Structure formats: structure tokens, C-alpha cells
Structure 1
Amino acid sequence: MTIAARTIYFKNDVGCLWEEPLAYLRLEYCAGSREESQFRALLTHTRQALQRRGWSKLLIDQQQMSPFTSGEEAWMTTEWLPRAVLENGYRYGAVVVAHDVFARLAMTNVVMTSRRLGHIYRSFEHDAEAIAWLVSLV
């Protein structure tokens, strides 16, 4: 039996969204500054992919990511995350943490701000640990 290959769902200058054969999405952020419209497009496609596949798990690879801007952070916490959780079934986020300490702090703020939504984030230094946690979830 062969295992299906992962496929690209969406890609732009901000990052790439993959559909993984083990039933989770992988969101990889690119290095550098971002245009907010492209940031929103990437995350909007992420919500749509969660809905389309009926999946609840997301691996968020932030290793190369620069910190969120205040506008990005506000949009994520007030619009994107509530919709992703309440409308699109997002439940589990495995974050492969950024090398940039300020990007890590920005993500910590997003996690703290969104706790009331009931989804679960866990942070990891390496992909293998994040993947193992995601696939262990039912």
C-alpha cells in the first residue's frame, strides 16, 4: 500500500498551505515582511480548506516567520480565529515555533487572546514532534 503524497492547496508570497495525507493542513510561513492582503488571503484559504476537508488539525510552521503586525494580530484574533473555530471546525494547532523571538511573543499573545474559543495550541521546536502530536489526536 502506498501513502498519498501531500498536495499544495494554496501558495502566495506569505506562505504555502499543504493538504497532508495524514488528515491535517500544514501552513508554512515564508521569511520577510508581508502584505496584509496576502496574509489574509492565505489564512482565508486555510479556513476554506478546513471546511472543504472536514479536518480540525493544523500544523503551523512559523520557523521563518517575522512577527505579526498589530493589524494582522487584531484580524486573526477578532475575525479569523473565531470563524475558523466556530464555522470551520478548527480544533488543534501544532505550532513549530519561529526562530525570531518577537514572532514567538506575537504568537503567544494570539494564543492567550483566543483561549476562550476552546481550541488547543501546542508549541514544538521540531516538525516530527508536532506531527506526532497531531496524528495522535482522534
Structure 2
Amino acid sequence: MRLYFENRAGRISDDPAGFARLTYSAGQRSEDELRALLGHVTRLLARRADGRLLVDQRLMQPFSASEQRHMTQQWMPAAVAEGGYRYGAVLQAHDVFARLATATVTTQGRELNLTYRYFDDEPAAVQWLLTRPT
């Protein structure tokens, strides 16, 4: 797996199996760090041109209200328009509040024709993602 970008918010990898991978880090992050991380996700999605992203939120802290607004109003529309983002396989956070914050964000994705599916098991998430059309 090739590391594409990393900061305190998380890391992005180009998975040789055939998708981009976003892994959120445990612990605190600044909103600027999250914005930088997401910007690099968009760039990797555009480079890959398959629209598939595995999102590992297992250790993630909940999104703040401001982070949720950024994701739904800025990042997700840009990731779709500029990165070709279409499919997200989400490994669910252990933290229940992080799960709730994610549900708020992904509900907005329906308006953008994004398809999300939630998993507790990584092999199942990868298998589902690889069956999505490119």
C-alpha cells in the first residue's frame, strides 16, 4: 500500500487492490488538519478516477459541528465534482458519537448521488467496494 499523505488527522493511501483508503487517526485534530487531509483525498480520487474510497473511522473522534458543515457544504460536493467520488465503504467508529456525526454527514451525500455502506469487518468492506463499477 502506497502512503499518499499523512497528518495528525489521519492518513491516505493508494491501495493496490483498487481504491483509495482514508484512515482517521485517534485523538484530537485541528479543523485545518482535517481540511488538508480531505483535500488530499479529493486529489487522490481524481488521480485514481474510480470513485471508490474505503473510510476507516474505527479510531476517529466525532466531527465537530463546524467540521460537519465543511464536509457537507464544501468537501463532499468538491470530492464528487473534482474527484469523481461515488462509493464509500465506511468502517464504523467505535465511538457512538462519532457514528452519529458520520450519519449526519453521509445523509447529505444522498443528494450528491454518493453511495455509502457501513461495515464492522474490513474484508467485507473491501469486497463490497471492489464490486462497485468504476
Q: TM-score normalized by structure 2?
A: 0.96
Mapped partners of 1:75, 1:58: distance in 2: 19
1:88 maps to which of 83, 86, 109: 83
Do the aligned residues in 1 keep the contact of 2:12 with 2:41 (CA within 8 Å)? yes
Deviation at 1:137, TM superposition (A): 1.5
Which protein is bigger by CA-based radius of gyration? 1
Partner of 2:131: 136
2:31 maps to which of 11, 20, 36: 36
Mapped partners of 1:114, 1:26: distance in 2: 18
1:75 and 2:70 correspond? yes
Deviation at 1:11, TM superposition (A): 0.5
Q: Deviations over 1:3-24 (max 9, x none)?
A: xxx1000001110101001220
1:26 and 2:15 correspond? no
2:46 maps to which of 33, 44, 51: 51
Mapped partners of 1:107, 1:9: distance in 2: 23
Deviation at 1:119, TM superposition (A): 1.0
Mapped partners of 2:105, 2:117: distance in 1: 13
- Please identify runs of 4+ aligned residues in structure 1 that moved more than 2 A: none
Count of residue pairs brought into register by the alignment: 133
Partner of 1:3: none
Mapped partners of 1:87, 1:29: distance in 2: 22
Matched-pair identity in %: 45
Cα RMSD of the aligned pairs, angstroms, is 0.8
Mapped partners of 2:108, 2:87: distance in 1: 16
Deviation at 1:94, TM superposition (A): 0.2
- What SS is found at the alignment partner of 1:83? helix
Partner of 2:61: 66
Partner of 1:99: 94
* Unaligned segments of structure 2, at least 5 residues: none
Kindly provide the amino acid, as one letter, of the partner of residue 22 in structure 1. Answer: A
Mapped partners of 2:50, 2:40: distance in 1: 14
Mapped partners of 2:114, 2:107: distance in 1: 11
1:114 and 2:109 correspond? yes
